Amino acid sequence: MTYARPKIELPGQEKNDIGLTLRDYEGSLSTLCAGCGHDSITAALVQALFEMAIEPEQLIKMSGIGCSSKTPAYFVHGAHGFNSVHGRMPSVATGALAGHRNLIGIGVSGDGDSLSIGFGQFGHVIRRNVNMLYLIENNGVYGLTKGQFSASADAGSTGKKGEVNQMQNINAVATAISMGATFVGRSFSGDRDQLVPLIKAAIAHPGCALLDVISPCVTFNDHQGSTKSYSYVREHKSRATEVDLVSPRAEIKASYYSGDAHPVLLHDGSTILLKKVDPDYDPTRRNNALGYLERCRIRGEIVTGLLYIDQNVSDMHTQCRTLATPLRDEAFANLNPGSEALAELQKGMK
């Protein structure tokens, strides 16, 4: 069920650049379990979109099927949403953004939705570099069908009833990088300070930005033996990088440059400030990123942060050389060649 959230205007609420408050970025009340990691991610999305001052109607929210895929209902009630079929969010997003290139696309998926039933579409939307945020709420388990392992469950981790997962896991981050992703990050639903700026950077990135967010399932995967529980992730996560998004209008303050921070300038004039926590890490080189991920895996670390970025690869529309105007807004007269052209072209058919 979805429940409308009562909208209460509180005096003195902070407003963003377009005069909207944080409440304007909220959606229906969540019907997920109390303590679900997904709700924390929703809150981070609300915060990030508020801070970026995105017009609600310019946003489209898309998802597949599963607990994760319910979440588009829980943020930005003024945006159109599309809760599609299992594993197929990427194709709907691709079509929607093909028809209207200026919309800001956010696709929310889960580990079952993206790494099992939707593994093909996950790969191809990345390969096509559709300009969108692709967020996986990754809990290693099937919630709505009551606790089966998902493809992201680590080998050797245990289910709620003690059964051991024998198969190797599919690592969404490493898979995405090896398939040619142009922006790949990982975070933890419990780390809002890291997640909000990562979401902002991902939205600003001119291509398909994948965020793999570990999001514990309090009901089916938060026990001893799980590698996706709150306590396990807190104990084993490390940060490779820290990011911040600086809008084109904002002045880049000198304080941002503490440590190893370096700016990644995006085509729209905004800047992703990237700070390496681990000096050994270079997120602009694919082989370095993949090697680092593997070293972390061997050490049993869940590495987080912006893990790979290449802002210079063409997105789908640049590859297709599509018109700057959204196709759906193009006048019919510019689409239809008319009767004379039809008569002319048929001369070759006689």
Partner 1 sequence: MSATQSRVNDFVLKIATVNGTGSASANGLLMKALFRMGIPVTGKNLFPSNIQGLPTWYEIRANREGYMSASGRVDVMVAMNVQTYQKDLNEVSPGGVLIYDSTWPRESTLLRNDITVLGVPLAKLCNEAFSVARIRILMKNVAYAGVLAALMDIDLKMIKKLLEETFAAKPKLVESNLKAIMLGYDYAMENFTCPLPARAEVMGDNSGNIMITGNEATGLGCLYAGATVGAWYPITPSTGVMDSFTMYCRKFRTDPETGEKRYCIIQAEDELAAAGMVLGANWVGARAFTPTSGPGISLMSEFIGFAYYAEIPSVFIDVQRVGPSTGMPTRTQQGDVMLCAYASHGDTKHPLLFPSNPHECFHMAVTAFDLAERLQTPVFMLSDLDIGMNDWMVPELTWDDNYRPDRGKVLGPEDLAKMERFSRYLDVDGDGITYRTLPGEDPKGAYFVRGSGHNRYGAYTEDSDEYQDVMDRLLVKWETAKSLVPDAVLSKADRPTRLGIVAYGSSDGAVTEARDWLEEKGIHADYLRIRAFPFSREVEEFLRSHDTNFVVEQNRDAQMKSLLMLQANDIANRLVSILHYNGMPIPSGCIVKGVTDHLEKEAAA
The distance of closest approach from Cβ of residue 31 to partner 1 in the complex, given in angstroms and rounded to an integer, is 9
**In terms of CB distance, is 252 or 327 closer to partner 1?**
327
The distance of closest approach from Cβ of residue 169 to partner 1 in the complex, given in angstroms and rounded to an integer, is 23
Kindly identify the residues of this chain, within the stretch 294-323, that bind partner 1 according to CB under 8 A: 316-317, 320-323
Kindly identify the residues of this chain, within the stretch 115-134, that bind partner 1 according to CB under 8 A: 120-121, 123-124, 128
Name which position in 5, 23, 100, 160 contacts partner 1 (CB under 8 A): 100
Binding mask 48-67 for partner 1 (x = CB under 8 A): --------xxx-x-x-----
Please give, one letter per residue, the 3-state secondary structure of 120-177: HHHHHHHHHCCCEEEEEEECCEECCCCCEECCCCCCCCECCCCCECCCCCCCHHHHHH
Name which position in 81, 159, 216, 305 contacts partner 1 (CB under 8 A): 81
CB of 189 closer than 8 Å to CB of 41: yes
The distance of closest approach from Cβ of residue 45 to partner 1 in the complex, given in angstroms and rounded to an integer, is 16
**In terms of CB distance, is 92 or 202 closer to partner 1?**
92
Tokens of 47: 């915060």
Q: How many CB atoms lie within 10 A of CB 78?
A: 14
- Asked whether position 78 contacts partner 1 by CB under 8 A, the answer is yes
Name which position in 161, 249, 253, 350 contacts partner 1 (CB under 8 A): 350
# residues contacting partner 1 (CB under 8 A): 62
Helix (H, G, I), strand (E, B) or coil at 339: helix
Tokens of 334: 């510019």
Q: Which residue has the tokens 């809990």?
A: 139
Tokens of 63: 């998802």
Tokens of 146: 């009551």
- Asked whether position 95 contacts partner 1 by CB under 8 A, the answer is yes
The distance of closest approach from Cβ of residue 321 to partner 1 in the complex, given in angstroms and rounded to an integer, is 5
- Asked whether position 336 contacts partner 1 by CB under 8 A, the answer is yes
Q: What is the DSSP string of 91-116?
A: HHHHHHHHH-TTSEEEEEEEHHHHHT
> For the chain, how big is the Rg over CA atoms in Å?
21
**Residues contacting 165, CB < 8 A, separation 6+:** 149, 153, 154, 155, 156, 157, 158, 159
Binding site for partner 1 (CB under 8 A): 1-2, 56-58, 60, 62, 72-73, 77-85, 88, 90-100, 102-103, 120-121, 123-124, 128, 316-317, 320-324, 326-328, 330, 332, 334-339, 341-343, 345-346, 349-350
